[in-house]
Amino acid sequence: MAGECCKVPMDSTTDIAPDLSAITIEGSGPDHQRRVRDLLELIDVVRPAVEADGGTLHLRAVDTNSGEVTVELAGACGSCAVASLTLEGGITRIMRQRLDWVTAVHGKVEDDPTATGVGGWTPRN
């Protein structure tokens, strides 16, 4: 059921549970809650690297039975020439290495040609 999960990790800087309303969460079984929790924690570890270049990373969906995860890069990623490399070579690789149940990572980049970034951000021109 969308947004359904118990005992999610708290944001260490604000002590507020992450907003799960924009995430489609599916799956069942004894490992379901642990898998969702571990995925949310990993997203929180990876997100600062994306934010350092002016972008952000959103978890959009997870199915803990099939192992499919959907993420979205936004912000400066929407105008970055290497966003798809970040998604495939970075985020997908990290998720599959650290979460043995993840079988596929589907990603999209929110298109925003006016966004600019810093650091490793590379304009699409």
Segments making up each domain of the chain, as ranges? 24-109
The arithmetic mean of pLDDT across residues 99-103, rounded, is 97
Long-range contacts of 46-54 (CB under 8 A, 24+ apart): 46/90, 46/91, 46/94, 49/90, 50/77, 50/86, 51/75, 52/118, 52/119, 52/120, 53/77, 53/80, 53/117, 53/118, 53/119, 53/120, 53/121, 54/115, 54/116, 54/117, 54/118, 54/119, 54/121
pLDDT grade for 124, boundaries at 50, 70 and 90? low
pLDDT grade for 122, boundaries at 50, 70 and 90? low
pLDDT tens string 42-99: 999 999 988 988 888 999 999 999 999 999 988 888 888 888 888 888 999 999 999 9
Percent of the chain residues past pLDDT 70, beyond the cut = 74
Q: pTM for the full model?
A: 0.77
pLDDT of residue 18: 57
Fold assignment, 24-109: GMP Synthetase; Chain A, domain 3 (3.30.300)
